[in-house]
Structure 1
Amino acid sequence: MHRFLYISTVRRTLSDAELEDILVASRRNNRLADVTGLLVVGNRRFLQVLEGPEDAVNSTFSRISKDQRHYAVVQLNNKAIAARSFARWEMGFQRGGDVNEGSTLEEQVASLLEPVADANLKAYFSGFAKSHSQPAGETTNMRH
């Protein structure tokens, strides 16, 4: 198994419909490639982890990095792993805000990461969420 973590910036804020289209395509492609992961969106920044067979993860990231909707794609972590942290998610997703009043991106991500054992992976996502956390109502939630 292999894990690849990256961060990027979208060229413009994406609508909920555009994000939903990305998720539908990602989940379909990931299912076919045996790739799982998590995408967290904070404002115009994306933090995503991909897990699966090394060739499939590298191929998926190569396709993603060519997508013109974002730039400044920076690899944060790329390593072999013993087991997936997101084995059940073709692509988990979290965007700031929640239907629960007062919930922040930081709180939502902490809940998603609760079963994750890898401290470094948790730190990347927790730090990202903390720096991009906003109160409910400022963004929408599309947790899957």
Structure 2
Amino acid sequence: MPLRIVYVSTLEQHVTEAELAALVDKAAAFNTSHGITGILAVEDRRVCQILEGPDAAVDALFASIKRDDRHSGIVELVRHGIDATTFDDWGMVRRGMLDIVVAAYAA
């Protein structure tokens, strides 16, 4: 059964918009190759992300995210099995905070 994790964190001050854009591109490629889909929102320094996909792959990715020094204060909000992924065509995409809230509650 696929797994969904939703978390929030705070982006460190040293992370630039260009670095964030590069990270999203890199994550999209990595996630696609591992069967993971997701959506990321950043507002000011607050981050919210939804990850979905095979349990082991999502767990491993989230463990890596928790070790990433580009953000802090990581709080896991949701972790549960899902019947199917919501973001089938997105390895990772960046959207507005409102879009991610709608996505989190629509699925």
Distance, in Å, in 2 between the alignment partners of 1:72 and 1:86 is: 26
Distance, in Å, in 2 between the alignment partners of 1:31 and 1:84 is: 13
Question: Aligned residue for 1:122?
Answer: 105
Q: CA deviation at 1:20?
A: 1.2
Distance, in Å, in 2 between the alignment partners of 1:35 and 1:56 is: 7
Aligned residue for 2:40, secondary structure, equals strand
Q: CA deviation at 1:28?
A: 1.6
Q: Is the 8 A contact 2:12 2:71 kept in 1?
A: yes
Question: Aligned residue for 1:6?
Answer: 7
Aligned residue for 1:86, secondary structure, equals coil
Question: Aligned residue for 1:30?
Answer: 31
Verify: 1:70 aligned to 2:57, yes or no: no
Question: Aligned residue for 2:20?
Answer: 19
What are the Cα deviations for residues 34-77 of structure 1, in whole angstroms up to 9, with x where unaligned? 10000010110110010000000001111111100111100000
Aligned residue for 1:88, secondary structure, equals coil
TM-score norm. by structure 1 comes to 0.66
Q: Is the 8 A contact 2:15 2:70 kept in 1?
A: no
Structure 1 or 2, whichever has the larger Rg, is: 1
Aligned residue for 2:20, secondary structure, equals helix
What percentage of aligned pairs have identical amino acids?
32
Structure having the larger proportion of residues in strand:
2
Aligned residue-pair number: 105
Verify: 1:48 aligned to 2:31, yes or no: no
Question: Aligned residue for 2:58?
Answer: 57
Q: Is the 8 A contact 1:13 1:44 kept in 2?
A: no
Q: Which blocks of at least 5 consecutive residues in structure 1 are unaligned?
A: 96-104, 124-144
Q: Is the 8 A contact 2:8 2:77 kept in 1?
A: yes
Aligned residue for 1:71, secondary structure, equals strand
Question: Aligned residue for 1:139?
Answer: none
Q: CA RMSD in A?
A: 2.0
Larger RCO (CA under 8 A, 6+ residues apart): 2
